Amino acid sequence: MRTFLAVGVALVTSAFAAVPAQATIPPVAEEHAAVRVCAAAPAGFASCGALLVTRPTRNPSPAASPAGYGPADLRSAYNLPATLSGAVPTVAVVDAYDDPTAASDLAVYRKQFGLPALNAGGPTFTKVNQSGGTSYPRKDAGWAAEISLDLDMVSAVCPSCNILLVEASTASFANLGAAVNYAASVPGVVAISNSYGGSDTSQLSAYKHPGIAVTASTGDSGYGVEAPASFDSVVAVGGTSLQRASNTRGWTETAWSGAGSGCSTKNAQPSWQTSVTQCAGKASADVSAIADPNTGVAVYDSTSYMGSVGWQVYGGTSVSSPIIASVFALAGNTGTGFSGTTPYPASRLWAASSGLNDATSGSNGTCTTSVWCTAGTGWDGPTGLGTPNGVGAF
């Protein structure tokens, strides 16, 4: 898997203007049949992590009309409740550029799977720019596809949650950080998903919001560290391959070979991470969920990225970040950490890891400290502490 991802990156143009333009990325190796939808990013910028399956060879969920796993599959795999108890939380999605059909595409997805309609007296959908206004940035087809993926995953996992989409003016960390700050200022927001990453860098204050679950993808190029997942205030979300199985759970998971992981040299280890990481810095991942495009999810997008319109199959840790953000929202406990404190919600996971599904096999590459890139019992880099098994650990 790392080979095909490296090929995909090599095909991306390496020269960028002050605001990087979307690159056209041709299909990669036939055996994998998936492409990145966003160009690689220079220093100070991030790239979205969505992987579009261009030639799906099978339907991993025969019960669903579109190919790819749907909401019922994800709730079954992760033992999640279909409804909320208590106040309705808001999950914010932060991405760059504009998806002009975000609302209409999301409506198609929700109708297909029998989810409550938005802005019809129940859960709501709101789209704003990074300052909270309605003057949107320019359209970018790759980031628009990422937006569709993120919104659909929030809907799948927490169909009763309100959804806030905040579109940054560009993919710079300055603008994406401004969008995160705005999202955190909105009453009711309990989780903010960031399905993008760039070169590891020191902690940015825009991503420090105690009491809000700020999640970020660990990346799709195998072993290696990305920001903002490397920030000590952020829940770093890795990736798995998810398949049906004839066991008690009904599913099995292994580490996805493309999931990012490792040890940050820019950010210190948070107080709640333990020596099991064998890392002096922030270790990625904290937790994980489905990311392998070969066991991907159904997404509806009409922005015509590379001619793909309508129902598509996606993978990447862009899938897992909004899933985990939404599980935090379902749990309703982001305002408190372990022992009654109010730090960053990742601390809850480290205090209650027995409530997760442990993925114990698979690897995302070769590294000097094997736990950073090879799955095993307990914490490991590609899958973190494990994947959701209900909301107890959240």
The DSSP code for 142 is: H
Beta bridge partners of 129: 167
The pLDDT of residue 147:
98
pLDDT tens digits along 101-110: 999 999 999 9
Domain layout of the chain by residue ranges: 2-388
pLDDT single digits (tens) 287-298: 999 999 999 999
Burial of 377 (0-12, 13-18, 19+ CB in 10 A): exposed
Write the CB contacts of 187 (distance below 8 Å, at least 6 apart in sequence): none
pLDDT number for residue 114: 96
CA-atom Rg of the chain in angstroms: 18
Q: What top-level class would CATH report for the domain 2-388?
A: alpha beta
Q: State residue 56's pLDDT score.
A: 59
Taking CB atoms within 8 Å and a gap of at least 24, the contacts of 366-370 are: 366/223, 367/223, 367/262, 369/263, 369/278, 369/279
Q: Per-block average pLDDT, block size 10, for the chain (394 residues)?
A: 39 36 35 82 95 68 71 97 86 98 97 96 97 97 96 98 98 98 97 97 95 96 97 96 96 98 96 93 97 96 79 96 97 70 80 93 95 97 97 92
> Residue 335 corresponds to which amino acid?
G
| Contact residues for 168 (Cβ-Cβ < 8 A; gap 6+) | 94, 95, 96, 97, 129, 130, 137, 175, 176, 178, 179
Q: What is the pLDDT of residue 332?
A: 87
